[in-house]
Structure 1
Amino acid sequence: MKKRGKEVTFVVILLAAILAMVFYSAASDSYRISPDKSSKLPLNQMELHYIKEKKEAVLAVSEDLEYLQKGFLQEYIQSIMAPSGLGIRLVKKGQEAADAEIVLVDEELRAQIDEVNFTAPLFQITGTLFVNHGSSLSKKSLTGVCIKGQFTNEEKRTISYDGKAIILEEVDSIDEAIKVAEKKKMDCIIGDQSAIVAALDSRGIADKYVDMYASLYKSNVCIMTDNQDHALYSILNQCIKNADTRVLMGRAQEHWFGIGDPLVQEGRYKDAAALLIIVFAAVFCAFFFYYQSNKNLYNELTERMNQLTASKQEMQTTFNGVSYYMAELTPEGAILDINKAFLGYVNRQVMGSTIAEALELPSELEKTLETMLADTRDTGRGTSRELTLKNHILEVNIFPILNPKGETEKLLFMASDVTRERMAERQMLQDNKMIAVGQLAAGVAHEIRNPLGVIRNYCYVLKNMKDEESQSQAVQVIEKSVDTAGNIIDNLLNFSRISKKQVQEVYIKEHISSVISLNKGMMKKKQIGIFVRCGEDFQVKMAVESFDMIFINLVSNAIDAMDQMGQLTIEIYRTEDEFYVEVQDTGTGIEEDIIKDIFNPFFTTKSMTEGNGLGLYIVYNEVQKMNGEIKVDSKVGEGTTFKVILPIRTEEDNLE
């Protein structure tokens, strides 16, 4: 801080010294307020003779410039011509014979260049628009005033402001224009910028009109001579080029209009040493500030780099600290970097190899992973799958890493070992199956007892019948009863078997009817009627064991929700890509405030001995794994409908 303070103090002292020298130079210098009459023009003998003989030149003022005050033009041109000694007298055009003419140079005059000569410009006239800021611009048209002859009738019709036409009134001079505008409260004044500003100032109303800097026209004012009058043309042109027209114009404007351009200072930097010191000091200050800005920029850049390094180290620590197996990949799947957890999993050097090679995937899983990489790379969205590898189940997620243009520059691979979780889920599913089997046992036993009773009766008949035809009929009945009992036992065994998620093609109506048979005992006991509505039976490809788990839980819940004499309706229908199974009961219904919680684990309205709250939770998860959807609609006292929506074709790898 102390060093910085010294630098600032040094700069302040240096600037103070420069300012002191500037003020000293300004105080010691003088302004040139008139041309140097002692200086003589390099005139030849012909030009000197012309001045001696002529003594005074008569200049006619063009009609386009009559609005300018004659005294202003007279003084301005006389001051220009003073070094030559030639007098100047201005007259109106046509008033008397003139030696030359003061004109506003336009295209029409330039076309006569072969007949006339134009001197260097005396000055330039800038035509602009002044608007009365007190006027209401909501009118359809505006009123204005201009100098007579400034515009043709056609030009006047084209002049507008803010899309509104300006109706112009013409007067003879600037002073008269200002008087008319003030008296009639005109909206606009159009004319020579400098002359209007001076006239407004002289009347003390400069604050009432705003210069719009419209630049309606810019024209040079020159002296036009006959192309045969070489001597006069040369004298006029030399005087104009030699004169400091800016200074002389300022003096004339100040005299006639009350304003003037800033006068040019002569000899302001006479002292060459002071000038060199100022230049040196300015250069030194520029380099000093350049050095300081670069130094500040360098310090800021260093600080940002340190922050970036710290952020990178923090990110690397986080990358290595998470328990997920993480790898940074190229868009094609080659490994760029891995974290410690991934290194511990593969237990070897895998940098540069592909992610499939690092995981040692079999060919079918390698194709699955390549598809995931391609999907993420092409769509810019993350993908997620479960891969079964040897004795492990990996939950794999792949995310895009985008560049500033939004393009996929790299890929982030994340995997976690979910073997224990999936085993626990499968065990929980199997436990729930066993609970359902226990609930079905009474009904199944009753269903088996019926064919066994038939077998017992017909065995007695066989013992006492003599004719072969009666014996053959009894044997057929016994065989049919044995088949019935065997089907019931097969259904129960299939349902209780540990799930392997195998995909099979089944006829859905026929399959649902076989699963319903497991509940017939319970429905008969409660005298519940069952109706299966389905049009033409159709085939679907699905994980049959998962569907059975879903359907059995929904049917069991429906039976539990109904008292005696209830009605269970199963409705099956399809669209082009999906099929629907609706399970509708006439039970007590579900209260509205708890319907959102029924799919949560361990949520139940039953007693501890009647349920564990996992049935609908398992139903929901199995439906999700089959890429399906489940909806519920219930009214208290009327019943509940569960609608399961599943795809007709489900790829096996989507059921992993």
Structure 2
Amino acid sequence: MKKRNKEVLFIIILLAAILAMVLYSAVSDSYRISPDKENNLALNQSELRFVTEKKRVILTVSKELDYLQKGFLEEYIQSIAEPSGLRIKLVEQDEKEADARIVVVDDVLRRQLDEISFTAPLFQVTGTMFINQESSSAKKILQGICIKGQFTDEEKRTLSYDGKAIELTEVEGTDQAVKLAQETNADCILGDQPGIIAALSSRELTGKYVDMYANLYKNNVCIMTDKEDGVLYSILNQCIQEADTRVLMGRAQEHWYGLGDAFVKEGRYKDAAALLIIVFAAVFCAFFFYYQSNKNLYNELTERMNQLTASKQEMQTTFNGVSYYMAELTPEGAILDINKAFLNYINRQVMGSTIAEALELSPELTDILETMLFDTRDTRRGTSREITLKNRILEVNIFPILNPKGEAEKLLFMASDVTRERMAERQMLQDNKMIAVGQLAAGVAHEIRNPLGIIRNYCYVLKTMNDEEAQEQAVQVIEKSAKTAGNIIDNLLNFSRISKKQVQEVYIKKHINSVISLNRGMLKKKQIDITVRCGEDFQVKMAVESFDMIFINLISNAVDAMEEMGRLTIVVYRTEDEFYVEVRDTGTGIEEGIMEDIFNPFFTTKSMTKGNGLGLYIVYNEIQKMNGEIKVTSIVGEGTTFKVILPIRMEEDKLE
């Protein structure tokens, strides 16, 4: 209860203070009818002597202030200097007899502080950006005009609008900037707000260029004197510090520009500041009651905002700390931001350019990347692809950044160098193939001995028989046997050759039979019966070497799982878009507890001398790369079936 009474008392005191300010404002007069302040300047003897002897001070005006009427500026400064008794005269810039100069104080002048002195500010000028409403939104780099020396080189490099870099052309003055912008149809003008407004108005361009209120800088307008003119500096500086510049500026504006009503309102509230205080107080009271009635909610909101800020900082730190090449993109692929790793990789500024331009991709790779961008944007799902760039293999992932409406507002590009990993995988695949070649060698040698034995027998026939018909038949048998041995050797060489991942068209039944021929020795040794069931032979387009590795490993596993007198069945069939290869054995089967582990690398139930645990792991990976699928069913004691599902026509750019 006491707390509530304190709140009510606080509101009553606040309202009383507001009422007092309103009453004070109502009885006090505006600057237009109030008497001037008395002369409170405390001039020393040197300053009084200077005023008596000099009487008039000549000032020049910087070109940057040409847009102000000289009469307005002279009247305003004269009203400031009037208490000192000095008269002010403004002359052209090249006047040699000038005592001081009215300038805009920027970084260039600040560096000259050892040689010159600046008075307190007369007023401020604000820097802003005016955008051409007729500019094309498809531009990647905006062409802008600015005043020479207004921006440092670093500021020029970092200037941007709507994520687009700005290329600046410098001119000497505000009027020249607007003139050049009109002639070249520039995208933007940067500079002093009032000066550009005045120049645009004189050229009737106010509807074409719109003020963005960018608040690029705020510079003070001061009187500049030489260090040696200490007396003049002291007098002018005292005048400015003692003057009510708001009142004097209002008078001059009303006289020259007719802007008096903007500073003084006739009626009950003659001071506009009082009205602003009332509005502010009313809003504050409403907020105060709302805050007191929802204090817990406010505290929770503050805590969540702090957490959000901390989370944002952590995300930015993570963004710059990861080793992946990351970039934030527009839906069209233009770069908005990149992380440190990406910047180090490309070693140049790429803001505003497309991701393809930043990576310097070939036209073919550019088309692939643009397709990934469009797919991610349209489906709102991530896409992944490996590309080869400058002898390096990059794994590229693109993810959508969704807004609350579920639309892809931005895209996240993420790439990593996987060259070493892919080279290791290829070497591991080749090593496994060579192991398989070693296992097949004995069987192949046995298969070759058969045609060689036939050849030797028929060579004997040729030597001992003179019957031409018998000799011709012997020659045909010899040629057939030589061809059989040659096919076996070709199959072995093709299988052992380093994979180039080439997509070829083959007849699947004929190709499977050629691969089986490499295993016949191993099958005969264990007296395993093999049957291939395939209706009409059909063509498929696939990575033949990858398929051979898959098929050889499945047959090898099936043979290892069976005792002598086993049965191996290969079933091949197709649908419109896919074909199926089933490898069925009558072996020991796979226990249910290890079914999920059989495709893991280095997992094996064989002894160390019979297996390295990579066969099924390679099978699984090769099938994934061919955009296929593998399924397994098994009954312990009865056998196992591996079903491989692959597309009938495989595109080369789908195989990585």
Equivalent residue for 1:546?
A: 546
Distance 2:283 2:358 in 1: 59
1:356 matches 2:364:
no
SS of corresponding position for 1:318: helix
Change over 3 Å in CA distance of 1:580–1:307 after alignment to 2 = closer
Does structure 1 retain, via aligned residues, the 8 Å contact 2:530–2:568?
yes
Distance 2:566 2:629 in 1: 27
Distance 2:308 2:329 in 1: 22
1:247-287 C-alpha deviation (Å, 9 max, x unpaired):
xxxxxxxxxxxxxxxxxxxxxxxxxxxxxxxxxxxx99978
SS of corresponding position for 2:608: coil
Distance 1:422 1:12 in 2: 73
Does structure 2 retain, via aligned residues, the 8 Å contact 1:11–1:285?
no
Distance 2:568 2:496 in 1: 24
1:11 matches 2:10:
yes
Distance 1:534 1:321 in 2: 56
Distance 1:347 1:13 in 2: 64
1:403 Cα offset (Å): 1.8
Change over 3 Å in CA distance of 1:525–1:337 after alignment to 2 = same
Equivalent residue for 2:426?
A: 426
1:538 Cα offset (Å): 0.7
Equivalent residue for 1:580?
A: 580
1:405 Cα offset (Å): 2.0
Change over 3 Å in CA distance of 1:492–1:288 after alignment to 2 = closer
SS of corresponding position for 1:619: helix
Equivalent residue for 1:448?
A: 448
1:289 matches 2:285:
yes
1:363 Cα offset (Å): 1.6
1:308 Cα offset (Å): 5.6
Distance 2:442 2:308 in 1: 71
Distance 2:419 2:280 in 1: 74
Equivalent residue for 1:520?
A: 520
1:479 Cα offset (Å): 1.6
1:527-580 C-alpha deviation (Å, 9 max, x unpaired):
111111111111111111111111010011111111111111111011111111
Distance 2:403 2:439 in 1: 59
Q: Which one-letter code corresponds to 1:436 in the other structure?
A: A
Equivalent residue for 1:213?
A: none
Deviates more, 1:285-294 or 1:576-585: 285-294
SS of corresponding position for 1:386: strand
Q: Which one-letter code corresponds to 1:640 in the other structure?
A: T
Distance 2:621 2:400 in 1: 28
1:391 Cα offset (Å): 1.1
Change over 3 Å in CA distance of 1:8–1:437 after alignment to 2 = same
SS of corresponding position for 1:594: helix
Does structure 1 retain, via aligned residues, the 8 Å contact 2:11–2:285?
no
1:235-274, aligned counterparts within 5 Å?
none
Distance 2:307 2:600 in 1: 46
Does structure 2 retain, via aligned residues, the 8 Å contact 1:601–1:614?
yes
Structure 1: segments with no counterpart, 5+ residues: 18-282
Equivalent residue for 2:367?
A: 367
Change over 3 Å in CA distance of 1:5–1:317 after alignment to 2 = farther
1:9 Cα offset (Å): 8.6
Distance 1:532 1:379 in 2: 42
Change over 3 Å in CA distance of 1:284–1:430 after alignment to 2 = closer
Equivalent residue for 1:504?
A: 504
1:513 Cα offset (Å): 0.6
Does structure 1 retain, via aligned residues, the 8 Å contact 2:380–2:400?
yes
Distance 1:463 1:326 in 2: 77
1:490 Cα offset (Å): 0.6
Distance 2:405 2:436 in 1: 56
Change over 3 Å in CA distance of 1:379–1:12 after alignment to 2 = closer
SS of corresponding position for 1:609: coil
1:461-511 C-alpha deviation (Å, 9 max, x unpaired):
222233443333222222211111110011011111111111011111110
Change over 3 Å in CA distance of 1:295–1:494 after alignment to 2 = same
Change over 3 Å in CA distance of 1:291–1:381 after alignment to 2 = closer
Distance 2:546 2:341 in 1: 34
Equivalent residue for 1:464?
A: 464
Equivalent residue for 2:654?
A: 654
1:455 Cα offset (Å): 1.6
Q: Which one-letter code corresponds to 1:418 in the other structure?
A: V
Report the aligned-residue RMSD.
3.0
Change over 3 Å in CA distance of 1:287–1:446 after alignment to 2 = closer
Change over 3 Å in CA distance of 1:14–1:312 after alignment to 2 = closer
Equivalent residue for 1:44?
A: none
- Equivalenced residues, count: 387
1:364 Cα offset (Å): 1.5
Q: Which one-letter code corresponds to 1:582 in the other structure?
A: E
Asked which structure has the greater CA Rg, the reply is 1
Q: Which one-letter code corresponds to 1:533 in the other structure?
A: R
Q: Which one-letter code corresponds to 1:636 in the other structure?
A: V
1:591-621 C-alpha deviation (Å, 9 max, x unpaired):
1211221111111111110000110111111
Distance 1:9 1:532 in 2: 95
1:397 Cα offset (Å): 0.8
Change over 3 Å in CA distance of 1:288–1:631 after alignment to 2 = closer
Equivalent residue for 1:404?
A: 404
1:291 Cα offset (Å): 7.2
Equivalent residue for 1:346?
A: 346
Q: Which one-letter code corresponds to 1:289 in the other structure?
A: C
Distance 1:584 1:399 in 2: 41
1:191-236 C-alpha deviation (Å, 9 max, x unpaired):
xxxxxxxxxxxxxxxxxxxxxxxxxxxxxxxxxxxxxxxxxxxxxx
SS of corresponding position for 1:436: helix
Does structure 2 retain, via aligned residues, the 8 Å contact 1:532–1:571?
yes
1:620 matches 2:616:
no
Change over 3 Å in CA distance of 1:325–1:285 after alignment to 2 = closer
Does structure 2 retain, via aligned residues, the 8 Å contact 1:399–1:412?
yes
Does structure 2 retain, via aligned residues, the 8 Å contact 1:562–1:587?
yes
1:101-250, aligned counterparts within 5 Å?
none
Distance 2:539 2:632 in 1: 25
TM-score between the two structures when normalised by the length of structure 2: 0.55
1:432 Cα offset (Å): 0.8
Equivalent residue for 1:562?
A: 562
Equivalent residue for 2:126?
A: none
1:571-650, aligned counterparts within 5 Å?
571-650=571-650
1:274-328 C-alpha deviation (Å, 9 max, x unpaired):
xxxxxxxxx9997873474699999989998776655443322111101110001
Change over 3 Å in CA distance of 1:469–1:600 after alignment to 2 = same
1:365 Cα offset (Å): 1.4
Change over 3 Å in CA distance of 1:13–1:569 after alignment to 2 = closer
Does structure 1 retain, via aligned residues, the 8 Å contact 2:566–2:585?
yes
Distance 2:459 2:647 in 1: 49
Distance 1:343 1:442 in 2: 56
1:379 Cα offset (Å): 1.4
Does structure 1 retain, via aligned residues, the 8 Å contact 2:567–2:586?
yes
Percent of pairs with identical residues = 83
Does structure 2 retain, via aligned residues, the 8 Å contact 1:506–1:541?
yes
1:361 Cα offset (Å): 1.5
1:348 Cα offset (Å): 1.8
SS of corresponding position for 2:618: helix
Does structure 2 retain, via aligned residues, the 8 Å contact 1:555–1:583?
yes
SS of corresponding position for 1:571: strand
Change over 3 Å in CA distance of 1:477–1:464 after alignment to 2 = same
Distance 2:369 2:12 in 1: 73
1:374 Cα offset (Å): 0.5
Distance 2:582 2:457 in 1: 40
Distance 2:281 2:336 in 1: 51
Change over 3 Å in CA distance of 1:476–1:293 after alignment to 2 = same
1:11 Cα offset (Å): 3.3
Distance 2:587 2:284 in 1: 91
Does structure 1 retain, via aligned residues, the 8 Å contact 2:632–2:642?
yes
Does structure 2 retain, via aligned residues, the 8 Å contact 1:580–1:646?
yes
Change over 3 Å in CA distance of 1:406–1:481 after alignment to 2 = same
Q: Which one-letter code corresponds to 1:447 in the other structure?
A: E
Change over 3 Å in CA distance of 1:397–1:295 after alignment to 2 = same
Change over 3 Å in CA distance of 1:554–1:289 after alignment to 2 = same
Does structure 1 retain, via aligned residues, the 8 Å contact 2:396–2:414?
yes
